[in-house]
């Protein structure tokens, strides 16, 4: 399931984060790569323990907590602290799959990576190329969103970042462990949640159909969630 989450950050939020990270020192992106990814990855990255990355990442986590669509789609249990990368001058990231378990360096914090997230931090017309291309059962899906918008997709999927041929692509990326491990089951729950919201908007939160459907949703979540 690939889902776009619009307006995670407003323009002012994007500007604050860009001011922080643009002034920081960047390093080779392979600092966080596994052996396979290192063969395909050409970009720059903020050190994950840098003050700028921690502050900007905290701002993103606060914003995610305010997004009902994100919570409904991801059903997050744990979120890896957001990281930041940038691509320019033909840099790209070839086809790869994310590690199944992500460990924060120097700590015992670890997650099972059920979902990957890319939060775009540059306007799409400010750079050429740089599309996130996710392979799924319907074929490759190409994603290039406005600054402040985010895409969620299964961490198990093959994906790549197309070469950036002009300008600079800047983004935050991170992984999530969901309360519901299975992507197909998360999709069912998300569709049901959106249906419940539509019925509630049309008929009211106290309508018997809304109450019954809400109960179905929570009973299915109770059956499938691990917390």
Q: Give the domain CATH number at 202.
A: 4.10.860
Distance CA(203)–CA(38), nearest Å, equals 53
Residue 221 pLDDT: 97
Residue 35 pLDDT: 60
Residue 41 pLDDT: 85
Locate the DSSP E strands across 75-204: 76-79, 83-88, 93-96, 101-103, 110-112, 115-120, 127-129, 132-136, 139-143, 150-154, 159-161, 164-178
Residue 30 pLDDT: 76
Total domains, the chain:
2
pTM attached to this predicted model? 0.93
Q: Give the domain CATH number at 118.
A: 2.60.120.620
Query: φ, ψ for residue 59 (rounded to 5)?
Result: -65, -40
Residue 107 pLDDT: 87
What is the CB-side half-sphere exposure of residue 150 using CA atoms within 13 A?
Answer: 28
Please tell me whether residues 109 and 193 are part of one structural domain.
no
CB 161 within 8 A of CB 92: yes
Joined tokens for residue 182: 């299975």
Please tell me whether residues 111 and 213 are part of one structural domain.
no
pLDDT along the chain (227 residues), means of 10: 96 98 92 62 92 97 96 97 97 94 90 98 97 90 97 96 97 98 96 96 95 97 96
CB 45 within 8 A of CB 174: no
Which residue range(s) make up the domain with 126?
3-178
DSSP one-letter code for 118: E
Please tell me whether residues 133 and 77 are part of one structural domain.
yes
User: Tokens 């002009």 correspond to what residue?
Assistant: 166
Helix 11-22 to helix 51-65 angle (10° resolution) is 160
Residue 112 pLDDT: 97
Please tell me whether residues 170 and 192 are part of one structural domain.
no
Helix 208-224 to helix 183-203 angle (10° resolution) is 160
Q: Is 159 annotated as a binding residue?
A: yes
What is the CB-side half-sphere exposure of residue 98 using CA atoms within 13 A?
Answer: 27
CB 29 within 8 A of CB 43: yes
Please tell me whether residues 190 and 168 are part of one structural domain.
no
Please tell me whether residues 33 and 49 are part of one structural domain.
yes
Please tell me whether residues 47 and 136 are part of one structural domain.
yes
Please tell me whether residues 124 and 157 are part of one structural domain.
yes
């Amino acid at each position: 399931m690939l889902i776009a989450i619009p307006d995670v950050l407003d323009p002012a939020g994007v500007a604050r984060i860009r001011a922080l990270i643009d002034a920081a020192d960047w390093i080779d992106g392979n600092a966080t790569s596994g052996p396979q990814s290192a063969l395909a990855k050409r970009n720059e990255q903020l050190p994950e323990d840098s003050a700028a990355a921690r502050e900007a990442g905290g701002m993103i986590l606060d914003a995610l907590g305010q997004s009902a669509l994100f919570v409904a789609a991801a059903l997050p249990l744990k979120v890896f602290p957001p990281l930041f990368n940038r691509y320019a001058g033909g840099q790209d990231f070839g086809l790869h799959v994310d590690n199944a378990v992500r460990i924060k360096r120097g700590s015992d914090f670890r997650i099972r990576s059920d979902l990957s997230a890319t939060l775009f931090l540059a306007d799409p017309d400010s750079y050429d190329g740089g599309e996130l291309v996710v392979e799924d059962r319907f074929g490759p899906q190409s994603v290039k969103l406005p600054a402040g918008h985010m895409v969620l997709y299964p961490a198990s999927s093959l994906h790549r970042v197309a070469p950036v041929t002009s300008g600079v692509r800047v983004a935050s990326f991170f992984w999530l462990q969901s309360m519901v491990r299975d992507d197909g089951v998360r999709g069912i729950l998300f569709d049901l949640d959106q249906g419940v919201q539509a019925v509630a908007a049309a008929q009211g939160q106290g309508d018997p159909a809304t109450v019954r459907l809400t109960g179905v949703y929570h009973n299915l979540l109770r059956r499938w969630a691990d917390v």
